[in-house]
Amino acid sequence: MNTNIWIVDKYVDNLENNPQVVDAANSLRKNEVVALPTETVYGLGGNAESDEAVAKIFAAKGRPGDNPLIIHIADRNQLSRFVTEVPEKAVALMDTFWPGPLTLIFKKKAGVLSEKATAGLDTVAVRMPDHPVALALLKTCGLPIAAPSANSSGKPSPTKAEHVLDDLNGKIAGVLDGGTTGVGVESTVVDCTAEIPVILRPGGVTKEQLEAVVGEVHEDAALKDQSQRPKAPGMKYTHYAPNAPLYMVAGPKEFLQTLVIEKEQEGLRVGVLTTEENRSFYKADLVLACGRRAELETVAASLYDTLRSFNQGHVDIIFSEIFPNEGVGHAIMNRLDKAAGHKLITE
C-alpha cells in the first residue's frame, strides 16, 4: 500500500477545509486508517463504528486484540451517542481539561461502536485532543475516531511523522504530518465509572491537577505493585523498548559512569540517556540528552524520540538516569520503567 504523506501547517486558518485534512478525512470515511498528530503523540485513527477500520488499526500495529482503543471526539455532544451516563465529576474534568491530555472511561452504550475497538468491554475510553490538526480532522470527517498511538506494538510512541513512517510505512493509507507533538507522553487515563475516579495510566495531566478539580483521586494499585493486574489492559504489555537492553540507574552520575567503563571494558558499545545538565559529564559511545532535568516537561517531550535514537546509534546496552517520581515525572518514570522492563541498578 502507498502511504500518503499530507504535510499540514498547524498554524494556518481554516484547517477544516485544508485539502490535506479533507483528503485524510475522506480516507477515514472509506474506513481506511490514517495517522494524525495530537498534543501528546501521533495516533493511528480509524472509524470507531466500523469493524473493518478498527481491524486495520490492530493489523497495522500488530496490537493484541484484548487491548481497547481510545475514542477521539471533537464535540462533547458526540458522547451521548455511545456513552450511557456522564457522571458529575467527569463533567468537571472535561470542563477543565478538554481539549487536552486526559482520557475518561465511561459506561458504554451497546451496539454503536465496533466491539473490536472496545475489546468487548462494557466501558469505553474517550478523549478530545488539543491539537488543531486533530480537531479539524475529527470535525471534517464527523466520526468518532478510534486512535491508539501510531507505533508498532511494543515500540516507543511516535512524536514525529517520521517515527510513524519508520514503523508503519506501506501499512496505512497516510499520515498527516503536523510537526513534532508537544506533551510527548500519552494522555492520563482516568476511570470515571466509580464514585472516586481512578488513574489507570499516568500521563499529561497529573494526579495533583485532577485532585484540584474533583477532590480525592485513586491510582490503580498495579501502577505501584507489579504483581497486580492493571485495569487498563494495555498497561500489562512491555512497551517503549529500544533495541538494546536499557537499565535505569539510581545514584550519582559518577556511579553511572563506572557502569559505562565496566561494560566498555567488556567490549560493548554503551549508550547513556541523560539530560542537558549532565550531558558533557559522561564519556560513552553515545550520550543522548533528553530535555532539561530542571523542567521535566522537556524530558517528557523528547523521551520517545531519544529512545528511538539509540537504535540508530547501534549500542549494545543503555544506562539511563532516573527522574523524580512526581508531577509529570510520574508519567516519565512509568514509561522509562516499562522501556527498561523494570531493570534498575542501585548504587
Interacting residue ranges for ligand TXA, rule: CB under 6 A: 38, 40-41, 43, 67-70, 101, 103, 105, 118, 121, 123-125, 129, 147-149, 186-187, 189, 200-201, 231-235
- Binding-site size for Mg ion (CB under 5 A) equals 1
Nearest 10 degrees: Cα torsion 12, 18, 21, 25:
140
149 binds Mg ion (CB under 5 A): yes
Residue 164 binds which entry of Mg ion, ligand TXA, none, CB below 5-8 Å type-dependent: none
181 binds Mg ion (CB under 5 A): no
Alpha-carbon distance 180 to 315, whole Å? 25
C-beta of 183 vs 246, nearer to ligand TXA: 183
C-beta of 43 vs 329, nearer to ligand TXA: 43
Maximum distance among all alpha carbons in the chain? 62
Sequence-distant (≥ 6) Cβ neighbours of residue 20 within 8 angstroms? 6, 7, 8, 176
Minimum CB–partner distance for residue 109 and ligand TXA (Å): 13
Q: Taking phi first (over 0 means left), then psi (-120 to 50 degrees means alpha), and beta for anything else, what does residue 194 get?
A: beta
Cis peptide before 99 (omega within 30 of 0): yes
Residue 20 binds which entry of Mg ion, ligand TXA, none, CB below 5-8 Å type-dependent: none
Alpha-carbon distance 127 to 97, whole Å? 10
Minimum CB–partner distance for residue 156 and Mg ion (Å): 9
Residue nearest to ligand TXA (CB): 234
C-beta of 189 vs 248, nearer to ligand TXA: 189
DSSP SS3 for 224: coil
C-beta of 79 vs 272, nearer to ligand TXA: 79
| Sequence letter at residue 260 | V
Do the Cβ atoms of 208 and 327 come closer than 8 Å? yes
Sequence-distant (≥ 6) Cβ neighbours of residue 19 within 8 angstroms? none
Q: Which three cell numbers stand for residue 126?
A: 474517550
C-beta of 154 vs 233, nearer to ligand TXA: 233
Could you give the string, one character per residue 77-116, with x where binding to Mg ion holds by CB under 5 A and - elsewhere? ----------------------------------------
How many residues can be counted in the chain? 347
Edge-to-edge strand order for the sheet containing 43-47? 4-7, 174-177, 34-36, 43-47, 145-146, 70-72, 123-127, 102-107, 188-191, 198-201, 218-219
Sequence-distant (≥ 6) Cβ neighbours of residue 261 within 8 angstroms? none
C-beta of 293 vs 338, nearer to Mg ion: 338
Minimum CB–partner distance for residue 61 and ligand TXA (Å): 9
Kind of pairing, strands 34-36 and 174-177? Answer: parallel
DSSP SS3 for 14: coil
Residue 43 binds which entry of ligand TXA, Mg ion, none, CB below 5-8 Å type-dependent: ligand TXA
Alpha-carbon distance 209 to 213, whole Å? 7
Minimum CB–partner distance for residue 320 and ligand TXA (Å): 22
Residue 41 binds which entry of ligand TXA, Mg ion, none, CB below 5-8 Å type-dependent: ligand TXA
Minimum CB–partner distance for residue 72 and ligand TXA (Å): 6
C-beta of 149 vs 206, nearer to Mg ion: 149
Minimum CB–partner distance for residue 237 and Mg ion (Å): 9
Minimum CB–partner distance for residue 294 and ligand TXA (Å): 25
50 binds Mg ion (CB under 5 A): no
Q: Which residues bind Mg ion (CB under 5 A)?
A: 149
